Amino acid sequence: MSDVPPFSPDILAAVQRAAMPDFARWQRMVYATGGCAQPVRLHGERLTVDAGTGEVLDVYRTADEPTGFLLTACGNRRASRCPSCSATYRDDTYHLIISGLRGGKGVPEDVSEHPRVFATFTAPSFGAVHG
pLDDT tens digits, one per residue of 67-96: 899 999 999 989 999 999 998 888 878 877
pTM: 0.57
Backbone angles phi, psi at 47, to 5 degrees: -115, 135
pLDDT tens digits, one per residue of 18-40: 999 889 988 998 899 998 999 99
| In the chain, domain spans | 8-74, 76-113
In 1-131, which ranges are E strands?
40-42, 45-49, 56-61, 70-72
